[in-house]
Amino acid sequence: MDNPIEQTKLRRTFSGPGVCASITPDTSMHILSQHEVEKLCDASQGGLHEIFRNSALAVLTSGNETDDTKAIFSRYADFDIGLEQRDRGVKLELINAPASAFVDGEIIQGIKEHLFSLLRDIIYVHNEIQDNAKFDLETSDGITNAVFHILRNAEIMHSVEQPHLVVCWGGHSISDVEYRYTKEVGHQLGLRSMDICTGCGPGAMKGPMKGAAIAHAKQRIKNGRYLGVTEPTIIAAEAPNPIVNELVIMPDIEKRLEAFVRVGHGFVVFPGGAGTLEEILYLLGLLLHPDNVDVPFPLIFTGPKQSENYFGTIDAFIKQTLGPKAAQRYQIIIDNPQLGAYEMNAGIQRVREFRKQTRDAYYFNWHLTIDHEFQKPFMPTHESMAQLDLHADQPIHMLAANLRRVFSGVVAGNVRTQALNAIEKEGPFQIHGDATIIKLMDELLQSFIEEHRMKIDQQNYKPCYEIIP
């Protein structure tokens, strides 16, 4: 009988530039049913194989400095992945996989683990969440219940730990100075025994993890957590960086964002582009909800001296669109990693006391109210983008929800294959709304373009949107 923990067996293929390999899991996902294998391998059944294949390719290209998803898929057009269900466990078959995922004939261990995390989450969501009466995805409670079960199945939530998980947001296209700063902030957080959660990609998602890993080594912390949270439409542009040691794939952007705020105890925002603004607006929209006024939620915007104008622009945009109450929910700390980490540590202690008093769990923020408008999946299309309500005569948290959708659409138009194809065919998304809001948004997006924050390779960047006064 073969050992289910056998080493990866690799063989070169003669049909393409890649590598063929058979891989078995070390500790998880040993067994799948024949029905599950058929679903994952049959491209005609709901597109599950395409999702699995494309996401697996993203994991295998981890470390590649590009966010051009169309170029990645074109370069590895002959890549495929299959499964074999044996009596003694499941085996992945990689065909023409990127050679960078292998060293001396063996797949890199972290990449191997990420592939099986991907398999675990895609199977679970498809079998247990979708079309399951237990999860009413048309209601707020039902969506939160689904998020909880996905995270629990991935063993992300640790019930015995004190609050110390810091979510770090920021762009994948940042300057070297900004990247070094994210590492130093992560280092200071790690020295204070805090773990890191990010969107799992490069840039500001990798830097804090790298810094924290060094700090954890100094403090002899052997179980440091570097949690990456992603979803299938973004993973190709932001492949999991090598430091991620826990990976979870949520089914869509909105559930990914909810996962961050349910498991995180504090948030640090570094410089970024449209995706970072989407995250900021999502979180501020939640904190502006009347039910969340008294919920402590440490939120720090920080960057090096060179990023001071960037955060000044973000601060002005928030104050002029969402008002002073929104600005009261965050601190801006410039060029001071130690102060940022100190303030975050103090903020998380307030979170701990609040959770203790309200008997809320440390591992999942049940107390936070999330309006259904923040949970409904938003599919950026020409029609949906043009119909967004971008007027001031609505509750502030609802304006934040719609502003968030604008930036989500811009992200999609920059890196997501479906939106890229639609824009190539029909032209840029058109954005309408209140003249003042539209003008502020146009100025902010233009500043991102001028500072090369939209994409990693932005030499020939063409806006995927058009502001209509």
- Residues 438-451: pLDDT tens digits? 999 999 999 999 99
- The residues near 102 (Cβ < 8 Å, ≥ 6 apart) are 10, 19, 21, 108
Domain identity same for 231 and 339: yes
Total-model pTM: 0.90
Classify residue 194: in a domain, yes or no: yes
Nearest residue to 411 (alpha-carbon basis) of 274, 280, 283:
274
Half-sphere exposure of 423 toward its Cβ, with a 13 Å CA cutoff?
Answer: 22
Classify residue 138: in a domain, yes or no: no
Domain of residue 212, CATH code: 3.40.50.450
Classify residue 158: in a domain, yes or no: yes
Domain identity same for 201 and 307: yes
Domain identity same for 215 and 258: yes
> CA-CA distances (angstroms) from residue 154 to 32, 40, 164?
16, 19, 19
Domain identity same for 323 and 367: yes
Domain identity same for 126 and 102: yes
Handedness of CA 72, 232, 183, 406 (dihedral sign): positive
CA angle 78, 83, 87 (to 5 degrees): 160
Domain identity same for 242 and 337: yes
Final residue belonging to a domain, choices 318, 353, 372: 372
- 304 close to 333: Cβ distance less than 8 angstroms: no
Domain identity same for 398 and 340: no
Tokens 């030499």, residue?
459
Final residue belonging to a domain, choices 104, 132, 160: 132
Domain identity same for 181 and 306: yes
Classify residue 1: in a domain, yes or no: no
Domain identity same for 66 and 155: no
Give the total number of structural domains in the chain. Answer: 3
Classify residue 265: in a domain, yes or no: yes
Classify residue 236: in a domain, yes or no: yes
Give per-residue pLDDT as tens, 7-16.
Answer: 333 443 334 4
Burial of 289 (0-12, 13-18, 19+ CB in 10 A): buried
Handedness of CA 410, 411, 413, 418 (dihedral sign): negative
Domain identity same for 85 and 26: yes
Domain identity same for 164 and 303: yes
| DSSP-derived pairing of the beta strands 89-97 and 19-23 | antiparallel
CA gap 408, 276 in Å, rounded: 10
Residue-level pLDDT at 3: 36
Tokens of 406: 């604008």
Residue-level pLDDT at 454: 85
- 96 close to 17: Cβ distance less than 8 angstroms: yes
Domain of residue 91, CATH code: 3.30.1850.10
Final residue belonging to a domain, choices 81, 100, 132: 132
- Domain span at 407: 377-467
Residue stretches of the chain with pLDDT short of 50: 1-16
- The residues near 395 (Cβ < 8 Å, ≥ 6 apart) are none
CA gap 213, 204 in Å, rounded: 15
Q: Which amino acid, residue 83?
A: L
CA gap 167, 208 in Å, rounded: 10
Domain identity same for 340 and 417: no
- The residues near 121 (Cβ < 8 Å, ≥ 6 apart) are 150, 153, 154, 248, 249, 250
Residue-level pLDDT at 415: 81
Classify residue 3: in a domain, yes or no: no
